[in-house]
């Protein structure tokens, strides 16, 4: 295990096959969203070929741009992560001219995404009732913390708050300590993916009906979904799930364990896998045959005794030795990597998740591809996240038909932000 792994050397992604279609070619997204849940959704749509127009405030744009570490004067690494394959225009929606431009973009779009506080879009005349009258085919995706109606519609909320309130946080961590939030913003990201599913379903429904629709997704609702089958277990039995740390209360041995030079995680979810581990990996057929350990119910009851034996054996050799034996025997296991180790691993190389893509200021920036692949309609070649209002002239001229004088006037008034150098 390297104590200071080097960052991986990144190469350009393989180009798309010549002439291959894009799944969402011809679909346009007016993206008013910011931070993670909305922008990650629109990025997925952009990766599938949609034209995404990111509409940002003129005063600094999406606040996510300024989350560290900085890459350029106007872009941090987190912003780059969630905003590739988009165009940007900065609009001061407090000005009537900017609101008119925003409406013109929405009127020419198939999808609108927003995650403002409840009432903000209505204040700008951009709520669903207002814009759908002029564009009945519009699919309007609205993301919030607690929904757009009911007693909680005006309440602000963030990812870790919904982790806490949904019960999700209570299940993470060690049994004798307070529940832990996840490191990554899992509810924001899950909400983005769920919203993408809903948008794609609405597009399919529109092909049948000819009409768009209003879509809602709330972080709290997503967090409840992410509790998983443990929620159903509680509703059926009345028994609350407890924290079990890096162990599983249902399957043994499923746990984090130390080797001579680093931790691994092993998952023996059934008796067949345990038999292979005991006999082929640990070379202890006596454990496989022992009446206290042969079957899952007995292993669960005698977990503590069995885990002591397994841990003592694994501590005698390095993790590379054990992981190789487990792979050969068909026992699911993996190193508990640091981020540096994970991103330099053979698994990362084999899956081709990482690339370098051109950036007009930084030269090139890292890129992490989406986890799925569409073989008939491959994802779009990745284009780095746009600078603030980078595409304003193109959008006004090519999409809205503004001439040079009208573009200059809109920018001179401050309604539209001039592209940032």
pLDDT value for 115? 98
Residue partners of 41: CB distance under 8 A and separation at least 6: 33, 113, 141, 143, 191, 192, 193, 195, 196, 199
> What tens digit of pLDDT does each residue of 304-322 get?
999 999 999 999 999 999 9
DSSP strand pairing (75-76 vs 70-72): antiparallel
Question: Same domain for 314 and 359?
Answer: no
CATH number, residue 260: 3.30.1540.10
Q: What is the mean pLDDT of residues 240-269?
A: 94
pLDDT over 60 at 2, yes or no: no
Give the count of beta carbons closer than 10 Å to the beta carbon of residue 390: 21
SS3 content of the chain, % helix, strand, coil (to 5): 40, 15, 45
E-strand ranges in 116-179 read 139-144
End-to-end distance of the chain based on CA atoms, in angstroms?
44
> What tens digit of pLDDT does each residue of 383-395 get?
999 999 999 999 9
> What tens digit of pLDDT does each residue of 186-222 get?
999 999 999 999 999 999 999 999 999 999 999 999 9
Give the pTM.
Answer: 0.95
Work out the pLDDT band at 420, boundaries 50, 70, 90: confident
- How far is the C-alpha of 252 from the C-alpha of 95, rounded, in Å? 63
Identify whether 243 is part of a domain.
no
Identify whether 244 is part of a domain.
no
Identify whether 157 is part of a domain.
yes
pLDDT value for 249? 83
Of 346, 368, 402, the domain-final residue:
346
Identify whether 20 is part of a domain.
no
CATH number, residue 119: 3.40.50.10540
pLDDT value for 421? 66
Write down the catalytic residue from 127, 188, 221, 239. 188
Distances (CA, A) of 1 to 311, 313, 316, 322, 397: 19, 19, 15, 13, 55
Q: What is the mean pLDDT of residues 150-157?
A: 96
Work out the pLDDT band at 6, boundaries 50, 70, 90: confident
Q: Is 127 a catalytic residue?
A: no
pLDDT over 60 at 1, yes or no: no
pLDDT value for 154? 96
pLDDT value for 3? 59
- Mean pLDDT, all residues of the chain: 96
32, 293 contact by CB (below 8 A): no
């Amino acid at each position: 295990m390297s104590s200071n792994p080097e960052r991986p050397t990144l190469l350009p992604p393989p180009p798309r096959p010549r002439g291959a279609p894009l799944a969402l070619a011809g679909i346009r997204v007016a993206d008013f969203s910011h931070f993670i849940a909305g922008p990650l959704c629109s990025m997925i749509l952009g990766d599938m070929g949609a034209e995404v127009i990111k509409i940002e405030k003129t005063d600094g744009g999406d606040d996510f741009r300024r989350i560290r570490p900085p890459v350029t004067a106007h872009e941090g690494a987190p912003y780059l992560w969630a905003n590739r394959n988009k165009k940007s225009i900065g609009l001061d929606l407090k000005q009537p001219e900017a609101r008119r431009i925003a409406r013109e973009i929405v009127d020419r779009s198939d999808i609108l995404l927003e995650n403002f506080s409840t009432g903000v879009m209505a204040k700008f005349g951009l709520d669903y009732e207002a814009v759908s009258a002029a564009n009945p085919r519009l699919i309007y995706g609205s993301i919030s913390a607690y929904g757009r109606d009911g007693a909680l519609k005006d309440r602000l909320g963030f990812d870790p708050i919904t982790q806490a309130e949904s019960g999700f946080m209570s299940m993470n961590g060690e049994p004798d300590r307070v529940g832990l939030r996840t490191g990554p913003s899992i509810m924001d990201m899950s909400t983005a993916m769920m919203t993408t599913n809903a948008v794609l379903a609405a597009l399919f429904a529109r092909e049948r009906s000819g009409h768009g629709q209003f879509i809602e997704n709330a972080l709290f609702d997503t967090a409840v979904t992410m509790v998983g089958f443990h929620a159903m277990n509680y509703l059926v039995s009345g028994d609350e799930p407890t924290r079990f740390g890096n162990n599983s209360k249902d399957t043994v041995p499923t746990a984090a364990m130390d080797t001579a030079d680093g931790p691994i995680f092993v998952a023996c979810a059934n008796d067949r896998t345990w038999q292979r581990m005991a006999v082929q990996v640990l070379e202890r057929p006596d454990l496989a045959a022992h009446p206290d350990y042969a079957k899952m119910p007995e292993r669960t009851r005698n977990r503590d005794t069995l885990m002591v034996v397994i841990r003592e054996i694994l501590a005698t050799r390095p993790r590379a030795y054990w992981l190789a034996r487990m792979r050969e025997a068909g026992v699911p296991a993996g190193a508990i990597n640091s981020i540096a180790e994970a991103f330099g691993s053979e698994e990362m190389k084999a899956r081709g998740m990482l690339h370098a893509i051109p950036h007009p200021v930084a030269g090139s920036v890292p890129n992490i591809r989406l986890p799925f692949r569409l073989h008939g309609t491959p994802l779009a070649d990745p284009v780095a996240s746009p600078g603030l209002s980078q595409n304003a002239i193109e959008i006004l001229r090519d999409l809205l038909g503004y001439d040079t004088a009208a573009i200059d006037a809109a920018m001179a008034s401050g309604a539209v932000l001039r592209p940032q150098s």
